[in-house]
Structure 1
Amino acid sequence: MKISKEIEFIIAVDALKNVNRRNYNADDSRRENTAEHSWQIIILAQILYPYAKNKENVDLLRVIRMLSIHDLVEIEAGDTFLFDEVGMIGKFEREKKSAQNIFGKLNEPLRSDFYNLWLEFEEESTPDAIFACAIDRIMPFILNSKTSGKSWTEAGVTEKQIRNMLENAITRASDEMGEAFRLLLDENIFNGKVAP
Structure 2
Amino acid sequence: MNLERLQQQIAFIMEIDKMKSIYRKSIITDRSRQENDAEHSWHLAMMAVVLLEHANAKSIDPLRVIKMVLVHDLVEIDAGDTFAYDDAGHEDKYDRELAAAERIFGILPEEQGCELMELWQEFEARATPESQFAAAIDRLAPMLLNYYTEGHSWKEYGITSDQVIARNRHIGNGSEALWQYAQTFIEDAVQKGFLAEKKSEQ
- TM class by shorter chain equals over 0.9
Deviation at 1:148, TM superposition (A): 2.0
Residue 46 of structure 1 corresponds to which residue in structure 2? 49
Paired residue secondary structure (1:109): helix
Q: Which ranges of structure 1 fall in alignment gaps of 5 or more residues?
A: none
Distance 2:150 2:189 in 1: 10
Are 1:72 and 2:81 counterparts? no
Deviation at 1:147, TM superposition (A): 1.3
Report the more deviating stretch, 175-184 or 62-71.
175-184
Are 1:193 and 2:198 counterparts? no
Are 1:151 and 2:173 counterparts? no
Q: Are the counterparts in 2 of residues 49 and 55 from structure 1 also a CA contact under 8 Å? A: no
Letter in 2 for 1:182: Q
Distance 1:10 1:124 in 2: 26
Map 1:20-99 to 2 at 5 A: 20-56=23-59, 58-99=60-101
Deviation at 1:94, TM superposition (A): 0.5
Aligned counterpart for 1:110 among listed residues 92, 105, 112: 112
Percent pairwise identity: 39
Deviation at 1:192, TM superposition (A): 1.7
Residue 140 of structure 1 corresponds to which residue in structure 2? 142
Report the more deviating stretch, 144-153 or 129-138.
144-153
* Aligned structure 1 segments of 4 or more residues deviating by more than 4 angstroms: none
Residue 19 of structure 2 corresponds to which residue in structure 1? 16
Q: Which ranges of structure 2 fall in alignment gaps of 5 or more residues?
A: 198-202
Distance 1:148 1:88 in 2: 26
Q: How many residues align?
A: 194
RMSD: 0.9
Aligned counterpart for 2:9 among listed residues 6, 13, 20: 6
Distance 2:176 2:156 in 1: 30
Q: Deviations along 1:156-187, whole A, 9 cap, x unmatched?
A: 011111111101x2112112201211100001
Distance 2:35 2:190 in 1: 23
Letter in 2 for 1:89: E
Distance 2:69 2:125 in 1: 14
Distance 1:81 1:179 in 2: 24
Distance 1:93 1:161 in 2: 24
Aligned counterpart for 1:161 among listed residues 154, 160, 163: 163
Distance 1:26 1:44 in 2: 16
